[in-house]
Structure 1
């Protein structure tokens, strides 16, 4: 993936801002208000606030059809992922205002975590083509997984409702889920034509290097070369899975001992069940087996800082 940055002529100067005010921490409310004060009244800007039943991908696609030159996703990785699916394969500029808990996508592009600073980056309009992943037609920005991590997200929502959204509660949800729920899956995995028969409680596919660097995992160079990285958690019961999760959080995992890693440009996973819960970018839904992963090269036209770090 080229790290070349360019300023492309938009379809128009009009900007559509799709906002998920429920993203991220309550402590970020003041910054969110300051951002909205700056955006509202800006010439050529239309603001759409998300509601729980809103199809964000369909709304973003409608914005493309309506001729908006820039569509801004203001929210967490799940919100941004939904907007990206509506912009996939187009030249419409994607602006990112990070309002989530982790903001892996924005951080991977060097986009400021302060919403007002991120808005200033959008107005500058420097763009880069960015690759993303796809599983059974569903676009994802950072990762997608089958098995234990989808269970973590279910537990996380209950913890968020009680204790609020934060990195601490997110990490606690991992520990709680891994210590109470375990199921080993029979997997047939085909990576670039090579078949692997494996048992594992979780298959985790990454398409962006930033998150791997965050947790000290290998595979960064493979992603930079256009491949996906598949991690398979070890079998051995709940305790072993919990210990592996704790090692990941503390950047102490060891390849071949704590996980198996495979890399390739096309990955197909069969679980011998008609449907399973799949997690991607903090979201989840039921999908049909088999699960076909691929990389969509240079799929998005994303607004980034003029001196953004090189990313795939």
Structure 2
């Protein structure tokens, strides 16, 4: 280690130490504000806060798992509970005390997260040089994302940069894989997609098979893949900058019995929802209509998931992701700090009681939720075929299903100048924070 690097490390350690101390100072101040200004009402405030939280969680649970009048009563309770609490605080002239204590608590958590924040290398994928393509071939779905291809004039802009563009206009279903393979046979030196993650995955598999660079254009609805690559999701035309000034990221690809996925594959409850004909037009409404039966296990095949030497029997849902999601994401809607560690993320959900369901809704650690990572997952069932949602596409696959990962399989080309991936937020480790504040936490690189 050079003198400069040693000085930088010492400076970072000192900064983390003082941030940890500031976190503890803020939390103690928050408690002091309550004790000094609320006095004997402090215990009452705590009881009201805990009671309101319990009511909110219970109401949310009943809203998600009930139908008819009970569901709407639960919704009313959800809305009215915080209003009632606010009114009680105003009447007791304690609102400012609670707000000040809450602000100090938020400051404490902010300082704690900053003190425990990861180094850039933990959440930024390495960039590699990229040579501008000479015969880029792009597939664009003009219907994806509410018509973003037309709205941002992506076809014309891509052709001005020398790319060949194929629009998925029909009539009928267009074989995207056949289009991509034909382009490769004609000498394409880059493949790309402006469309949903399901279409991205199909063409990405072919690009990886032929070791060709792959371009992601964020013209889908949610663009989860683009999000984890740090691309601009508001203006997909900026993704085309990679054709003239790009860098390469080498990422992993997941497979379900040989079919590629870039985000995740789901089985069980969520896959049942994706199979519903109403899902594409009304995702939220479909989930709310189907969730009660799915949580109670009234529909669907009985699954068994094998993760290495661990077996989970009867999970209601299994989510297998291309890289683990951050912060215990249970729906595959969160973020992955990196997609190049060569591991699958696996979440299995088994809810057999109200307590476990409430814990699941609160995203707490419960016996019914198992999070794991590995290189292979096998999902068995008591029926010959099971529904699957692969990057949001509804499929039926034969059981047992084998999910694997291929490290560094895909060469993704991204613009040199892009929004980038935000620093991931990890749970506060108060034990480590205490060691940092006391100056007893080993420096990075030391054991």
Question: In the alignment, is the contact (CA less than 8 A) between 1:64 and 1:92 conserved in 2?
Answer: no
Larger Rg: 2
Partner Cα distance (2:257, 2:162) in 1 = 36
**Secondary structure, in 3 states, of the residue corresponding to 1:304?**
strand
The structure showing larger relative contact order (alpha-carbon pairs under 8 Å, at least 6 residues apart) is: 1
Instruction: Confirm or deny that 1:56 pairs with 2:176.
Output: yes
Instruction: Confirm or deny that 1:183 pairs with 2:304.
Output: no
**Secondary structure, in 3 states, of the residue corresponding to 2:411?**
strand
Cα 1:220–1:98 shift into 2, 3 Å: closer
Comparing both structures, which one devotes a greater share of its residues to strand? 1
Instruction: Confirm or deny that 1:203 pairs with 2:318.
Output: yes
Summarize the alignment of residues 225-244 of structure 1 with structure 2, pairs less than 5 Å apart. 225-236=341-352
Q: Deviations over 1:248-269 (max 9, x none)?
A: xxxx311225522232211111
Q: Which runs of 5+ in 2 are unaligned?
A: 1-121, 424-447
Give the RMSD, CA atoms, in angstroms: 3.3
**Secondary structure, in 3 states, of the residue corresponding to 1:101?**
coil
Q: Which runs of 5+ in 1 are unaligned?
A: 162-168
Instruction: Confirm or deny that 1:78 pairs with 2:198.
Output: yes
Q: TM-score, normalised by structure 1?
A: 0.80
Partner Cα distance (1:176, 1:93) in 2 = 42
Summarize the alignment of residues 1-312 of structure 1 with structure 2, pairs less than 5 Å apart. 3-9=125-131, 13-25=134-146, 28=148, 31-32=151-152, 34-40=153-159, 42=160, 44-50=162-168, 51=170, 52-113=172-233, 114-155=235-276, 157-161=277-281, 169-181=282-294, 182-183=298-299, 185-192=301-308, 194-209=309-324, 212=326, 215=329, 225-236=341-352, 247=361, 252-257=362-367, 259-306=369-416, 308-309=420-421
Post-superposition offset of 1:48: 0.6
**Secondary structure, in 3 states, of the residue corresponding to 2:142?**
coil
Counterpart position of 1:164: none
Comparing both structures, which one devotes a greater share of its residues to helix? 2
Cα 1:213–1:75 shift into 2, 3 Å: farther
Post-superposition offset of 1:139: 0.6
Q: TM-score, normalised by structure 2?
A: 0.58
